[in-house]
Amino acid sequence: MNFIRTEIEDVVIVEPAIHGDERGYFVETFRQDKLSEFLGYTIDFCQDNESKSSYGVLRGLHYQLPPHAQTKLVRVIQGRVLDVAVDIRKGSPTFGQHVAVELSGENKRQLLVPRGFAHAFIVLADDTIFAYKVDAYYSPECDRGISYADKDLGIEWPMPLEEIKLSEKDTRQPELYETDDLFEYGVNYYA
């Protein structure tokens, strides 16, 4: 398993080793021990989620506030997405910046999105199956979001905004500057 720090150090790409032959392939998609060794702390994932989406569906930018803040370890089983993590930690040197990584059923890459980041993905192939681990259960009271179309974030979605398919909830999210429901840089949200 290979771990790669991105331009925003806390967001990590995970590349599992793929063992394949004429029969198919085998891959370890998660190793608690190796991830903990790389990070220097342990994330206790408690739930796995999965969604299936068609081309052009965008889910996000979502996050949960403490005490139910979530770390996500995301991957694509089938199809492909552009996955995005946005730093929403006030005072961070990378506040408002983002990392965008293509994840697919072929490349088997994963993205670790830590607490303090908003997360979204846009589907680039029909019948895409997206799976992820979280380290806190869903909490409606702590559920928040930011507009995918916030120009200040500089996210280059790979299709015109008018072609993107959204939930009703995601059409009403505020821009980053319009919300105070954010995280503070330097606070250990894992303690």
Active-site residue list: 62, 132
Are 132 and 60 a contacting pair, CB within 8 Å?
no
CA distances for 7 relative to 40, 65, 136, 156, angstroms: 19, 24, 26, 16
Any idea what the Cα angle at residue 41 is, between residues 120 and 94, rounded to 5°? 45
Nearest CA among 79, 151, 91 for reference residue 121: 79
Write down the H helix ranges in 30-137: 32-39
